[in-house]
């Protein structure tokens, strides 16, 4: 909403423009009226909408045409004043003033007009019959007010309507010619309905209507008031109420009624509460609230955000199979202006046998977005109505900014839940297979992935010492000379070589020695394709000897060419190394260290299945 309102009064000489302003300010008709009143400012606390209002007079005798054009361009609303007892001043509205205003305003930003019939005390009849055709001809005319500066009739109402025309304009909402709401308005209200329909059954029940009422107007509706609203809809629409709840058609009908009865402020209050600006676009301040992320800090979803996202998933998982079908996913993202997830997402997170994103995969993708691009995450949460449904100040309240990684290293403990592992290796070494295996896909399933749907990320959960953590794998493009800061910034490094290719290990050794040998980032060597015959690596020393010299754990054998799901043990090890980078290399080589970490993983994997079943039953 605008921070202030600028009202300009124009019209023929002696129609009473200056008298109207002076009568408003002094609350009495002035004995002496100057040619032009000075600009006045009405403070916010004395206006109905709590917005400072500037009222500007125009005098043909004291101002040039150029000054008039400047004032027109600065005005938020223009009152064209005519005298109800002067037919020529009414004719000038269409022959002079409206064309003049149109020529001097931006064609893309329509300035609302108010017709003001002054001196109503001098006649017994109304000018409305004459003015009505003008109002029908020009859609920019918001309303017409007949008033009298002499007896103070409708003076405060005039300026209230002028203020209202700026703060609650009809133009973006309603088309007078078609007598219908405009498409953008319908689209915005449809999104608001869908966000408010928290069980996604296509109606707003009493609880949802009351929550909506409290959200927008800070007060619930009494039971009888709710019934009265629904009865109004029932009388006018066959399918406006269903199962005693308000349908989308009924919801739209109510707003049409508000607009047609001049109660635009009701619809605008709803639109603005849900983040819309005057052009019915979601406000940038709403979508991107301030969030400061210092260097060496990461971003994660907090408990409240995960609860909200879980409720969104439950709302759209119609068949209760703990996965989202393409239709269910499309329904979930119906409140977005575009489809945010492409086909690559299905190869970034866990899916079921049909290739549908599971509950775990859904939360993982949100976790990935928050970690990699928190601004995008804020935008997405805004489309879903997080701040409204979760009753938070903004989407930023759903984000945790982790502390500096240096502090974690000093304290030898971390509060983070998401760890990044950058995966290096030359082309054909098995990096992509390593990522997909983390999502439970063996080589056979991986062969069905289309190249255009390939993902360079994989994210899922692992358990370390009984704690659930997210491990984010990122496949780094194998261009040794052009590794960016983001390629190097991670919590653990994974160096993948193909045991069946004698030249594969050399790349891993070079990357390690140039970029990671002197860093504090823990590294692990992966001997990929271990189901194939191992050959001697054409390097100065064997991979095992290389790891020993550089105090790394020995190379970890890995294959995704399995009958069932590939082993996840190696991913637990990577997460453990990311969580405890300060642990000595001797401990990392110890079998008891890995045993303690992986026991938690096994226990929680079993518990995870149990919780999955409980979730299904409870739903």
The domain that contains 423 carries what CATH number?
3.40.50.300
CATH number of the CATH domain containing 327: 1.10.238.10
CA-to-CA separations, 522 to 528, 550, 567, 578, in angstroms, rounded: 19, 11, 22, 7
Q: Among residues 236, 256, 281, which one ends one of the domains?
A: 281
Query: Are 321 and 383 members of one domain?
Result: yes
Give the other-Cβ count within 10 Å of 207's Cβ. 11
Q: Is residue 250 part of a domain?
A: yes
Q: Looking at the structure, tell me whether residues 352 and 260 fall in a common domain.
A: no
The pLDDT value given to residue 540: 92
Of 227, 251, 281, the position where a domain reaches its end is 281
- In a shared domain, residues 471 and 566: yes
Q: What is the pLDDT of residue 243?
A: 95
Q: Are residues 521 and 564 in the same domain?
A: yes
Compute how many other C-beta atoms are within 10 angstroms of the C-beta atom of residue 114: 22
Both 29 and 162 in one domain: the answer is yes
> CA Rg, the chain, in Å?
34
pLDDT value at position 610? Answer: 47
CB-neighbour burial class of residue 97 (10 A; exposed 0-12, middle 13-18, buried 19+): buried
Q: Provide block-wise average pLDDT over 10 residues at a time, the chain (619 residues).
A: 88 94 90 89 81 92 92 94 94 95 82 94 88 88 92 91 88 85 96 97 96 93 91 94 96 94 91 94 96 94 97 96 96 96 94 95 98 98 97 96 88 90 94 95 88 92 93 87 78 96 96 91 96 94 96 95 91 94 58 52 47 47
Give the separation between CA 385 and CA 145, rounded to whole angstroms.
39
Task: Specify whether 549 is located in the same domain as 491.
Answer: yes
> 275 with 302, same domain?
no
Distance CA 301, CA 321 (A): 24
Residues 430 and 536 in one domain: yes
| Cβ neighbours for 297, distance < 8 A, ≥ 6 positions apart | 401, 402, 403, 404, 405
Q: Rounded distance, CA 367 to CA 375, Å?
A: 13
Matching residue, tokens 């069980």:
199
Instruction: Print the domain residue range for 599.
Output: 592-618
Q: Which residue has the tokens 């007598």?
A: 179
Q: Is residue 584 part of a domain?
A: no
Are residues 510 and 361 part of one domain? no
Please give the model's pTM, rounded to 2 decimal places: 0.86
DSSP assignment of 102-144 equals HHTS-TTSPPPEEEEEE-GGG-SS-SHHHHHHHHHH-TTEEEE
Is 587 within a domain? no
Q: Give the closest residue to 366 by CA, choosing from 382, 384, 380, 352.
A: 380
Task: Quote the pLDDT of residue 590.
Answer: 55
Whether residue 521 lies inside any domain: the answer is: yes
Tokens for 472, please give them: 């984010």
The number of folded domains in the chain is 5
Asked if residue 415 and residue 398 are part of one domain, the reply reads no
Last residue of a domain, one of 347, 367, 402: 402
Q: With both helix axes pointing from N to C terminus, report the angle between 223-236 and 206-217 in degrees, rounded to the nearest 10.
A: 110
Q: Are residues 120 and 232 in the same domain?
A: no
In sequence order, the 6+-apart residues with CB closer than 8 A to the CB of 183 are none
Same domain, 533 and 452: yes
pLDDT at site 619: 46
């Amino acid at each position: 909403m605008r921070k202030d309102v600028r009202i300009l009064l124009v019209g023929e000489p002696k129609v009473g423009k200056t008298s109207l302003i002076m009568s408003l300010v002094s609350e009495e008709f002035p004995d002496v009226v100057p040619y032009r009143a000075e600009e006045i400012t009405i403070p916010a606390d004395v206006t109905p909408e709590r917005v400072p209002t500037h009222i500007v007079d125009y005098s043909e005798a004291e101002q040039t045409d150029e000054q008039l054009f400047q004032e027109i361009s600065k005005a938020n609303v223009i009152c064209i004043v005519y005298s109800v007892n002067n037919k020529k001043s009414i004719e000038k509205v269409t022959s002079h003033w409206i064309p003049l205003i149109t020529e001097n305003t931006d064609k893309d930003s329509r300035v609302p007009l108010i017709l003001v019939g002054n001196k109503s005390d001098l006649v017994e009849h109304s000018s409305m019959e004459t003015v009505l055709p003008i109002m029908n001809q020009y859609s920019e005319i918001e309303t017409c007010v007949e008033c009298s500066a002499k007896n103070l009739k409708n003076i405060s109402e005039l300026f209230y309507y002028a203020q209202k025309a700026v703060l609650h304009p009809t133009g973006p909402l309603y088309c007078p010619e078609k007598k219908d709401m405009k498409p953008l308005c319908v689209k915005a209200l449809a999104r608001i309905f869908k966000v408010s329909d928290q069980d996604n059954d296509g109606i707003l029940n009493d609880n949802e209507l009351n929550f909506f009422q409290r959200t927008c107007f800070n007060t619930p509706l009494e039971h009888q008031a709710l019934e009265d609203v629904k009865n109004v809809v029932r009388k006018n629409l066959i399918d406006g109420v269903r199962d005693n709840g308000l349908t989308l058609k009924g919801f739209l009908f109510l707003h049409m009624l508000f607009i047609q009865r001049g109660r635009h402020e009701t619809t605008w209050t709803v639109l603005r509460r849900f983040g819309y600006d005057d052009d019915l676009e979601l406000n940038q301040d709403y979508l991107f609230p301030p969030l400061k992320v210092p260097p060496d800090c990461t971003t994660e979803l907090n408990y409240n955000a995960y609860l909200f996202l879980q409720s969104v998933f439950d709302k759209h998982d119609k068949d209760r199979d703990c996965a989202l079908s393409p239709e269910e996913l499309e329904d979930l993202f119906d409140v977005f202006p575009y489809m945010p997830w492409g086909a690559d997402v299905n190869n970034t997170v866990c899916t079921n046998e049909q290739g549908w994103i599971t509950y775990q995969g859904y939360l993982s993708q949100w976790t990935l977005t928050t970690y990699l691009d928190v601004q995008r995450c804020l935008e997405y949460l805004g489309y879903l109505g997080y701040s409204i449904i979760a009753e938070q100040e903004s989407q930023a309240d759903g984000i945790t900014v982790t502390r500096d990684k240096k502090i974690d290293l000093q304290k030898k403990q971390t509060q983070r839940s998401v760890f990044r592992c950058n995966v290096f290796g030359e082309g054909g070494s098995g990096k992509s297979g390593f990522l997909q295996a983390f999502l439970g896909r063996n080589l056979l399933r991986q062969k069905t992935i289309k190249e255009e749907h390939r993902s360079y990320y994989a994210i899922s959960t692992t358990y370390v010492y009984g704690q659930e953590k997210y491990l984010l794998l990122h496949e780094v493009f194998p261009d040794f000379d052009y590794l960016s800061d983001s390629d190097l910034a991670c919590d653990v490094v994974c160096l993948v070589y193909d045991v069946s290719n004698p030249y594969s290990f050399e790349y891993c050794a070079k990357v390690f020695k140039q970029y990671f040998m002197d860093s504090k980032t823990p590294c692990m060597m992966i001997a990929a394709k271990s189901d194939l015959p191992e050959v001697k690596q054409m390097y100065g020393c064997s991979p095992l000897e290389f790891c020993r010299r550089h105090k790394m754990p020995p190379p970890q054998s890995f294959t995704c060419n399995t009958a069932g799901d590939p082993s996840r043990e190696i991913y637990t090890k990577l997460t453990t190394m990311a969580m405890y980078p300060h642990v000595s290399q001797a401990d990392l080589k110890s079998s008891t260290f890995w045993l303690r970490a992986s026991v938690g993983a096994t226990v929680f994997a079993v518990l995870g299945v149990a919780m999955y079943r409980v979730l299904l039953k409870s739903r």
